[in-house]
Chains A and B, each alone.
Chain A
Amino acid sequence: MVRVLIPSGALGLNYDAQALQRGIAAKPDIIAIDGGSTDSGPSYLGRGVSKYARASTKLEWAGLMAARAEAGVPLVIGTAGTCGADSAVDWMLDITREIAAEQGRPLKIAVLRSSQDPDQIAQAFEGGDITPLANAPDVTSDIIRSCSNIVALAGAEQIAAALDTGADVIIAGRTTDTAIIAALPLMRDCHAGAAWHGAKIGECGALCATNPQSGVISIEFDDAGFTVTPLADGAHASPHTVSAHMLYENSDPFILYEPGGYLDVTQAEYAAVDGTSVRVEGSKWVPSDRYTVKLEGARPVGCRTVVMALLRDPHYVANAQVWADDIVDKCGAKVRNRMDLAAEDFTLELRLIGQSASFGTLETREATPLEIGVIGIITAPTEAQASEIGKLLNPYLLHHPLTQEEEQPTFAFLFSPPEMHQGQVYEFALNHVLHLSDPMSAFELEVIDLA
């Protein structure tokens, strides 16, 4: 039997300290926590930075490191620093060193790095070792080379290699959400289907139970199935909450692809053990012929400036779309005439907040609100050009009339200057898998001993 303690769906989201203590008292074999995902967008991977505040990350990680020392078991974080790029792993390592010094204990750290050299990935693409997944963007080797960061998602094999070093703390770069939980049960010959299925149920912490904000759950794996137990007061798992979690952020709720195979839960049976715990059996692991890891890449696609104005005059609110379309036409022409930019070099859009901002042309309802927020969204190759377009847009957002006949209007601005610069923006460029002859060949493992 292997008991995995999961403090939270992600480091930075906080956890219930009392429930964590309850988990430590129950003598877990490992503590595993996720550090990120792609869910907050491409900027974090593009820049190689964390989404969460360093202050929160340090406080929560220090609590987990202390709990780890008390339990005398490994502590593993997957997808360190939100994106799992090497720079984010280094950030996490830096925080870990700081805490280790403050806690005054010797510490053995294993660092698993997932960053890939874009040039090597481009060569693998040219050599036919990279395969697109469903709805993958069209890529070329040039697009791959233009990525600022590419990571490969480690699976259970790479986490097992890190655990084999005997490290106290494992800081892993990009991993699948499940790998950090499934690795130890797999190493100790627990049921493979149960290892992956339990890992999927547990990867968001207590989201598979009531009181999801409490975070902390424990999962026991054995040779036939797994049992999930939320540990906070007022948190209960039921067959419904556990099985429903397979729907969450999953395009297919029955099949989950992982490095080395896939999980099939079509025959899984969920049973209540008591009012709090749920037992699951019948999940199946199907190994694949070739070992593949998924790739994530983000590339810079220009610099963004945004400008916001507010329409409150009923005449302009009622005709906002006509007004916005006219501005985009006229300002777009001015950008092409006055700046050395072709139509395809920049984007200029006015999004009407309160009218159609959520769905654009897919919107099916019409209503005239009291006021409409207008956000001008500009992207251009350089920050200076995006800023310049913002300045060309500014007079329109301040004074553009619906017709020549009407008195010059003036619209509300929130700030001076009105242009807000977002800097470099990124887009996800890869939804592909990389074929590997050896699972470790795309990853680097380093062991650091802190005396």
Chain B
Amino acid sequence: MPELRSLVSKVRSKNAGPFWLTIDIFCGSAEAYARVRDDLSTTRVAEVFATDGQAIKRFDIEQLHVVKFSLPRPAVQGSVADRDMHGASWAALLGEVEI
């Protein structure tokens, strides 16, 4: 099974304020969008970030060929446990998921 990142044009992540992380998957085509929308479950995303699937907000945006996930930050931004001040690296972890 291919990695998500090889199917899409870009996966990016960023803080949405200090308490939320948001990850945008720019699929780049209608085909890739349909595949990501159908094959990447919210449950799988919850597993990747070891979080509760109920807490994840998901947006399938057909117009932009984007699938977007927002979740409580794995560690509050800048707290002692935080590893990534701007939330930029988390996209890599999702990009490596096989679908």
Q: Tell whether, in the assembled complex, residue A38 and residue B80 are in contact, meaning their CB atoms are under 8 Å apart.
A: no
Q: Tell whether, in the assembled complex, residue B68 and residue A253 are in contact, meaning their CB atoms are under 8 Å apart.
A: yes
> Which residue in chain B gives the minimum CB-CB distance to A243?
B64
Q: Tell whether, in the assembled complex, residue B83 and residue A247 are in contact, meaning their CB atoms are under 8 Å apart.
A: no
Q: Tell whether, in the assembled complex, residue B19 and residue A136 are in contact, meaning their CB atoms are under 8 Å apart.
A: yes
> Which residue in chain B gives the minimum CB-CB distance to A247?
B24
Q: Tell whether, in the assembled complex, residue B80 and residue A301 are in contact, meaning their CB atoms are under 8 Å apart.
A: yes
> Which residue in chain A gives the minimum CB-CB distance to B82?
A41
Q: Tell whether, in the assembled complex, residue A364 and residue B96 are in contact, meaning their CB atoms are under 8 Å apart.
A: yes
Within A270-303, the residues touching B (CB, 8 Å) are: 301-302
CB distance from A152 to the nearest CB of B (A): 15
User: Does B76 sit within 8 A of A, measured CB to CB?
Assistant: yes
CB distance from B16 to the nearest CB of A (A): 4
Which stretch, A115-123, A208-216, A322-330, A424-432, touches the partner chain B? Answer: A424-432
Selected from B14, B48, B78, B93, the residue in CB contact (under 8 A) with A249 is B14
Selected from A248, A351, A379, the residue in CB contact (under 8 A) with B14 is A248
CB distance from A175 to the nearest CB of B (A): 15
User: Does A334 sit within 8 A of B, measured CB to CB?
Assistant: no
Selected from A39, A133, A427, the residue in CB contact (under 8 A) with B79 is A427
Q: Tell whether, in the assembled complex, residue A427 and residue B64 are in contact, meaning their CB atoms are under 8 Å apart.
A: no
What B residues does A351 contact at CB under 8 A?
A: 83
User: Does B53 sit within 8 A of A, measured CB to CB?
Assistant: no
What B residues does A252 contact at CB under 8 A?
A: 57, 59, 70
> Which residue in chain A gives the minimum CB-CB distance to B97?
A364
Could you tell me how many residues of chain B have their Cβ less than 8 Å away from some Cβ of chain A?
39
What B residues does A38 contact at CB under 8 A?
A: 15, 17-18, 77
CB distance from B85 to the nearest CB of A (A): 5
Q: Tell whether, in the assembled complex, residue A431 and residue B80 are in contact, meaning their CB atoms are under 8 Å apart.
A: no
User: Does A42 sit within 8 A of B, measured CB to CB?
Assistant: yes
User: Does B63 sit within 8 A of A, measured CB to CB?
Assistant: yes
Within B59-94, the residues touching A (CB, 8 Å) are: 59, 61, 63-64, 66, 68, 70, 72-74, 76-80, 83-86, 89-90, 92-93
CA–CA, A128 and B94, complex, Å: 40
Q: Tell whether, in the assembled complex, residue A244 and residue B78 are in contact, meaning their CB atoms are under 8 Å apart.
A: no
Q: Tell whether, in the assembled complex, residue A243 and residue B24 are in contact, meaning their CB atoms are under 8 Å apart.
A: no
Q: Tell whether, in the assembled complex, residue B76 and residue A251 are in contact, meaning their CB atoms are under 8 Å apart.
A: no
CB distance from A46 to the nearest CB of B (A): 9
> Which residue in chain A gives the minimum CB-CB distance to B15?
A39
Q: Tell whether, in the assembled complex, residue B50 and residue A362 are in contact, meaning their CB atoms are under 8 Å apart.
A: yes
Q: Tell whether, in the assembled complex, residue B83 and residue A428 are in contact, meaning their CB atoms are under 8 Å apart.
A: no
Within B9-23, the residues touching A (CB, 8 Å) are: 14-20, 22
CB distance from B56 to the nearest CB of A (A): 10
Q: Tell whether, in the assembled complex, residue B48 and residue A362 are in contact, meaning their CB atoms are under 8 Å apart.
A: yes
Which stretch, A93-101, A105-113, A352-360, touches the partner chain B? Answer: A352-360
Chain A: number of interface residues, binned into ranges: 35 or more
CB distance from A40 to the nearest CB of B (A): 7
Q: Tell whether, in the assembled complex, residue B49 and residue A39 are in contact, meaning their CB atoms are under 8 Å apart.
A: no
Q: Tell whether, in the assembled complex, residue A358 and residue B84 are in contact, meaning their CB atoms are under 8 Å apart.
A: yes
CB distance from A212 to the nearest CB of B (A): 13
CA–CA, A137 and B78, complex, Å: 13
CA–CA, A39 and B57, complex, Å: 21
User: Does A315 sit within 8 A of B, measured CB to CB?
Assistant: no
Q: Tell whether, in the assembled complex, residue B85 and residue A362 are in contact, meaning their CB atoms are under 8 Å apart.
A: no
> Which residue in chain B gives the minimum CB-CB distance to A40?
B85
CB distance from A269 to the nearest CB of B (A): 10
Q: Tell whether, in the assembled complex, residue A253 and residue B61 are in contact, meaning their CB atoms are under 8 Å apart.
A: yes
Q: Tell whether, in the assembled complex, residue A358 and residue B20 are in contact, meaning their CB atoms are under 8 Å apart.
A: no
What B residues does A363 contact at CB under 8 A?
A: 93
Interface string of A409-429 (1 = CB under 8 A from B): 000000000000000011110
Instruction: Write the residues of chain A forming the contact surface with B, with a CB cutoff of 8 angstroms.
Output: 38-43, 133-137, 240, 243-244, 247-254, 301-302, 347, 351, 357-365, 377, 379, 425-428, 431
Give the 8 A-B CB pairs with smallest separation, nearest first.
Answer: A41-B78, A251-B70, A251-B16, A428-B18, A135-B72, A42-B78, A135-B19, A251-B20
**Interchain residue pairs with CB less than 8 A apart (5):** A38-B15, A38-B77, A240-B64, A247-B61, A431-B17
